[in-house]
């Protein structure tokens, strides 16, 4: 049995109860085959694949907190420190009822390759909790965050592990996490990214994932002799990634016609009114259905459905496995030209295959959404030198990083004889840098 197949078979047996992790591992291991085959003997002797699929450590802890009625609750907290071969552990904190060890591990694993692709010195990690901030008061969120950090502080630090935002963790949560860390540890260090601007945050971090996604899409289009000008764009999600993806798409001349949340989706043929969406989501923390109360000619539909809208470009920016086989078939049938992932693993393996075979250009999340964590690394640099860069400076660096990632994944795909296959390009390019460091460090 070939090395990759053996490791995958062992993983399937060992972690049969972790479907998301197995999906992420299969996607990576299958597509790095040409790179592994070239060095199979060395990799196998050094157990490179066995070591890269196993997190360095997984921390799980209890988070007791008290609600506004005086009732106590217990949630589970996680931090998966996956790989720190090329830099301190780095990755967000997801707060969502679906969070479990499989989701934490898949996200941590993806982060290793994504962070490597940024070209910056950051290792991969992920954390989170099954706590749902939706519908909770500010005080309840604060109580939860303080309790979470009362455990997590032991394991993080500016040169050890630097958490950040993700689904359910925004500026408010990061503020409470940081405040509690500072209180317990008594040090003022760049231990979190996505911080508020008054306490060490970076300009353009909030916009970075969405903007970066569009810089990547723009590069992709240009490389294929096209532009974003006049294109119809369908976006899922209405969080930080989706909102700033829509903003940059609009600035680049495209028309964004959909957004969604976990309850339903809106279609506005005139182009989404982003000022209204920001008010609904960032200020009022309300549902996207509010949109049609103002724009009565837009349509709100409960449930899923954005991929049924004919488009030139589709940007899944909500969550994992939100673009499935039937969705991919609709996108192909409707003549969609490109799918670039703003979320982590939003497209299933089967759907990815359908898109690529159907001639749709496809850029996986670990490359397309890397602008967020790349800008987090820029926030770490600013914290280290105790300076703040201007919005333009950070944005320009972000733009350069996304262009480099595109160049890296497309030349890697070409080098391995699969031009235009950005899944292979991203996985091999991300993998090779980490493996190089792992080999240099010896067995550890």
Two structure tokens written together for 120: 């910056």
- 91 belongs to the binding site for ligand GLU (CB under 6 A): yes
- 90 belongs to the binding site for ligand GLU (CB under 6 A): yes
Residue among 190 and 372 whose Cβ is closer to ligand GLU: 372
- 53 belongs to the binding site for ligand GLU (CB under 6 A): no
Burial of 438 (0-12, 13-18, 19+ CB in 10 A): buried
We find the least distance from the C-beta atom of residue 199 to ligand GLU, in angstroms, to be 17
Residue among 49 and 242 whose Cβ is closer to ligand GLU: 242
**Helix, strand, coil fractions of the chain, as percent rounded to 5:** 50, 15, 30
- 382 belongs to the binding site for ligand GLU (CB under 6 A): no
Residue among 103 and 360 whose Cβ is closer to ligand GLU: 103
User: Of the ranges 78-86, 89-97, 219-227, 393-401, which one interacts with ligand GLU (CB under 6 A)?
Assistant: 89-97
Q: Which residues fall within 8 angstroms of residue 292, CB to CB, at 6 or more apart? A: 266, 298, 299, 300
The beta strands (E) that lie in 237-331 are given as 255-260, 264-267, 299-302, 313-316
Length of the chain in residues, anyone? 444
Contact, 245 vs 317, CB < 8 A?
A: yes
Q: State the Cα–Cα distance between residues 338 and 313, nearest whole angstrom.
A: 5
Residue among 165 and 200 whose Cβ is closer to ligand GLU: 165
Q: State the Cα–Cα distance between residues 144 and 242, nearest whole angstrom.
A: 26
**264-267 and 299-302: which strand pairing?**
antiparallel
Contact, 408 vs 117, CB < 8 A?
A: yes
Residue among 165 and 190 whose Cβ is closer to ligand GLU: 165
Q: Which of 337, 314, 310 is nearest to 324 (CA)?
A: 314
Two structure tokens written together for 213: 């996604």
We find the least distance from the C-beta atom of residue 339 to ligand GLU, in angstroms, to be 18
Contact, 409 vs 12, CB < 8 A?
A: no
> Per-residue b/e over 382-420, b at no fewer than 16 CB within 10 Å?
bbeeeeebeeeebbebbbebbeebbebbbebbeebebeb
We find the least distance from the C-beta atom of residue 431 to ligand GLU, in angstroms, to be 17
Residue among 43 and 148 whose Cβ is closer to ligand GLU: 148
Residues of span 172-231 touching ligand GLU by CB under 6 A: 193
Residue among 78 and 416 whose Cβ is closer to ligand GLU: 78
Tell me which residue has its CB nearest to ligand GLU.
92
- 116 belongs to the binding site for ligand GLU (CB under 6 A): no
Q: Report the interhelical angle of 205-223 vs 391-415 (nearest 10°).
A: 40
Among 166, 219, 268, 312, which residue interacts with ligand GLU (rule: CB under 6 A)? Answer: 166
- 378 belongs to the binding site for ligand GLU (CB under 6 A): no
- 373 belongs to the binding site for ligand GLU (CB under 6 A): yes
Q: Which residues pair with 63 in a beta bridge?
A: 75
We find the least distance from the C-beta atom of residue 355 to ligand GLU, in angstroms, to be 21
We find the least distance from the C-beta atom of residue 25 to ligand GLU, in angstroms, to be 17
Among 31, 129, 232, 376, which residue interacts with ligand GLU (rule: CB under 6 A)? Answer: 376
CA 249 to chain centroid = 18
**255-260 and 232-236: which strand pairing?**
parallel
Residue among 91 and 316 whose Cβ is closer to ligand GLU: 91
- Catalytic: which of 90, 105, 114, 126? 126
- 31 belongs to the binding site for ligand GLU (CB under 6 A): no
Phi, psi of 215 (to 5 degrees): -65, -40
Is 126 annotated in the active site?
Answer: yes
We find the least distance from the C-beta atom of residue 128 to ligand GLU, in angstroms, to be 10
We find the least distance from the C-beta atom of residue 110 to ligand GLU, in angstroms, to be 8
Among 164, 249, 280, 339, which residue interacts with ligand GLU (rule: CB under 6 A)? Answer: 164
- 105 belongs to the binding site for ligand GLU (CB under 6 A): no
- 119 belongs to the binding site for ligand GLU (CB under 6 A): no
Helix (H) or strand (E) holding 162: strand 161-164
Tell me which residues are annotated as active site: 126
Question: Which residues in this chain contact ligand GLU in the complex, by CB under 6 A?
Answer: 90-92, 164-166, 193, 344, 372-373, 376
């Amino acid at each position: 049995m070939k090395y990759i197949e053996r490791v995958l078979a062992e993983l399937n047996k060992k972690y049969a109860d972790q479907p998301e992790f197995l999906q992420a591992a299969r996607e990576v291991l299958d597509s790095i085959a040409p790179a592994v085959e070239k060095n199979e003997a060395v990799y196998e002797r050094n157990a490179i694949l066995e070591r890269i699929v196993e997190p360095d450590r997984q921390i799980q802890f209890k988070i007791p907190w008290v609600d506004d009625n005086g009732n106590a609750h217990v949630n589970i907290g996680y931090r998966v420190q996956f790989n720190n071969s090329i830099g301190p552990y780095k990755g967000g904190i997801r707060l969502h009822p679906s969070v479990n060890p499989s989701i934490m591990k898949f996200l941590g694993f993806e982060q290793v390759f994504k962070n490597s692709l940024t070209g910056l010195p950051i290792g991969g990690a992920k954390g989170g909790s099954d706590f749902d901030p939706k519908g909770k008061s500010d005080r309840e969120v604060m109580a939860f965050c303080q309790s979470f950090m009362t455990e997590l502080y032991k394991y993080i630090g500016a040169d050890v592990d630097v958490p950040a935002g993700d689904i359910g963790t925004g500026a408010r949560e990061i503020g409470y996490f940081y405040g509690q860390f500072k209180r317990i540890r008594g040090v003022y260090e760049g231990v979190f990214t996505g911080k508020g601007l008054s306490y060490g945050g970076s300009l353009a971090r909030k916009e970075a994932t969405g903007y970066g996604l569009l810089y990547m899409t723009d590069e992709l289009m240009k490389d294929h002799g096209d532009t974003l000008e006049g294109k119809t764009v369908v976006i899922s999600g209405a969080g930080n990634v989706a909102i700033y993806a829509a903003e940059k798409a609009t600035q680049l001349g495209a028309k964004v016609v959909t957004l969604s949340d976990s309850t339903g989706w809106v279609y506005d043929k005139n182009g989404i009114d982003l000022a209204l969406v920001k008010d609904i989501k960032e200020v009022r923390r309300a549902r996207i259905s509010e949109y049609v109360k103002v724009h009565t000619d837009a349509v709100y539909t409960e449930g899923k459905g954005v991929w049924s809208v004919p488009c030139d470009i589709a940007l899944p920016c909500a969550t994992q496995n939100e673009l499935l086989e039937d969705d991919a078939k609709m996108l192909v049938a409707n003549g969609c030209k490109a799918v670039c992932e703003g979320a982590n693993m939003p497209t299933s393996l089967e759907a990815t295959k359908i898109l690529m075979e159907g001639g749709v250009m496809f850029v996986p999340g670990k490359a397309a959404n890397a602008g967020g964590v790349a800008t987090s690394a820029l926030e770490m640099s600013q914290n280290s030198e105790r300076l703040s860069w201007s919005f333009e400076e950070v944005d320009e660096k972000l733009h350069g990083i996304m262009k480099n990632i595109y160049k890296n994944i497309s030349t890697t795909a070409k080098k391995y004889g699969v031009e235009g296959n950005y899944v292979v390009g991203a996985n091999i390019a991300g993998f090779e840098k980490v493996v190089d460091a792992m080999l240099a460090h010896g067995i550890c």
